[in-house]
Amino acid sequence: MAWLCGSADAGARNPAVTLNRYGEGHAVAWAYDLARSVALTRQGNPEWADRERDRGFGIRVVDMLVGWVDPDRISVPQADEQQRLLANVLGLLSQDRRPLPRLWYLPGSAQSILVATGDAHMTPSTAIAEMLSHVEERGGRMSIYYSPPFERPVRRATSRARYLATEMPLIGDAVGRQFRSVSPRQIREWRERGHEFTLHPYVGQEGICAGYLDGALVTPSLEEGWRRRWGEFTGLGYGPLSPTTRTHCILWSGWVESARLQASYGPRMNLDCYHWGPAFCTADGRWVYGYLNGTGLPMRFVDAQGRLLTTYQQPTQLADDHLLEARFGGEVWGGQVGLSAEEALGVSEMLLSLGVRDHAAIAANCHPDLWHVASWAADEETRARAVAWFDGTLDGALALGVPIWSAYDRLLYTERRQGVTYEALAWNAGAKRLTAIVRSPEGSPGALTLLLPWAPRGGARCCPSPHGSPLPARRQRSPRRRCGSVWRWRSPR
């Protein structure tokens, strides 16, 4: 069914997955460690942890992926395809005994999701508010990862007092207009509208500045950076921390140590696996785009001993600081590729189409920093380019029927789907009836969708009838069009 090859051009001589039939039964064998292969494809080579390998800024997840995921096949979600092969094989093995139900990856009938995020670095509240309004106009929700300034405790207390004054009657609005910083009242309003607002921590690595304090460079360790930034964020009244995060400059420590440390502060989804830097430029000068670590689906990190962490990994495949030509503070900023808004939008449309084809989540990062024009910030051309790219990406998602979710929404749906259990699963072959009790946790956006085989052996058709009341069902191709068709029904929200 599959072969192990040393290269794409090598002949198929060594079986990777085999199917053997004997009598009325059959068996499938994996000739390699499937779970290890998926984990290492997604998380990179652990032997390359903490090593600079991509000639980019700092040590990041991407350094463990250089020469690991084939750039010429980055448009294929290689880790996800291996998992889907296993799922399809389980369906194949069970078809003689009973139809095997499974859950759809995405909410309702969605074929993909656009996860909208923005890293904000002491950005004025007006820029963030404008960006959120653009998302709301398209029926979406967004995650803002915010870095407050390094401050001494006394100055932080003064800022907190000013924020409290903005909530006082009569004088609150007047006080609020005197400074541009984000206030706790604004954050509460954004959260009430369904957006996520949480910490974008600065952590240091040797030789890399992670901020300034009273004019001096500060380079805290991973642990100190999180502790200090958590204190600043909550000390300003911005808390509590939301359960997703992305690190400033996407700096990474160890194979999974960053994820482990982050989990101790509450985050349960990490977006630090990020498409940025020279690793995505081939030897002949082509920039490639796609699934940088072979996946568009969230999965929990696993450590070197094979233990699952509580944190899910969700890659970020679209990044304005990789794609766009931009200037910030009068200097060239970020963009490795240096595309115009129209060229970058072409990349967005290509990735969104891949997401629909592969039933994957595509996460995008658009910095609110670029939406604020000032001598120390973006210029007019940079702002126009950033706004046009972000709006076009949102519109492209809508045109494909792709929901726009925050990372927080993505996490809640993932955890709910993971918490589904089946009980009393039974198949009456004579009556061609499958019965089961399916239990689902509450508390996430979107409906769960159960898939059943379209035609189990013998020609029967499965029609879901929970509690004796039929639910609407429709026929749909199964993932990657390799296992026929399925019936699907949607649970109540």
The domain limits of the chain are 1-32, 113-414
CA torsion, ordered 277, 369, 445, 463, to nearest 10 deg: -40
Q: Which two tokens stand for residue 226?
A: 């999180």
Of 210 and 150, the one with more pLDDT: 150
- Segment 355-371 mean pLDDT: 96
Q: What is the rounded CA–CA span in Å between residue 375 and residue 96?
A: 70
Residue 209: pLDDT band (50, 70, 90) is low
pTM of the model: 0.89
Sign of CA dihedral 388, 391, 393, 396: negative
Residue 468: pLDDT band (50, 70, 90) is low
Is the pLDDT at 60 greater than 90, yes or no?
A: yes
Stated as kind and residue range, the H or E segment containing 157 is helix 153-165
Helix (H, G, I), strand (E, B) or coil at 424: strand
Report the Cα–Cα distance between both ends of the chain, in Å, rounded. 39
- Segment 120-143 mean pLDDT: 96
| List of residues 6+ apart from 430 with CB closer than 8 A | none
Residues in the chain: 493
Helix (H, G, I), strand (E, B) or coil at 272: coil
- Segment 232-240 mean pLDDT: 88
> Are 113 and 405 spatial neighbours (Cβ–Cβ below 8 Å)?
yes
Stated as kind and residue range, the H or E segment containing 84 is helix 78-94
Is the pLDDT at 434 greater than 90, yes or no?
A: no
Structure confidence by residue, pLDDT tens digits, 396-405: 999 999 999 9
Most trustworthy range by pLDDT among 31-35, 53-57, 86-90, 220-224: 31-35
Closest C-alpha to 225, from 255, 189, 198, 199: 199
Please report which residue ranges of 318-420 form alpha helices under DSSP H: 320-323, 341-358, 380-399, 407-418
| List of residues 6+ apart from 442 with CB closer than 8 A | 416
Q: Does domain 113-414 have CATH number 3.40.50.2000?
A: no
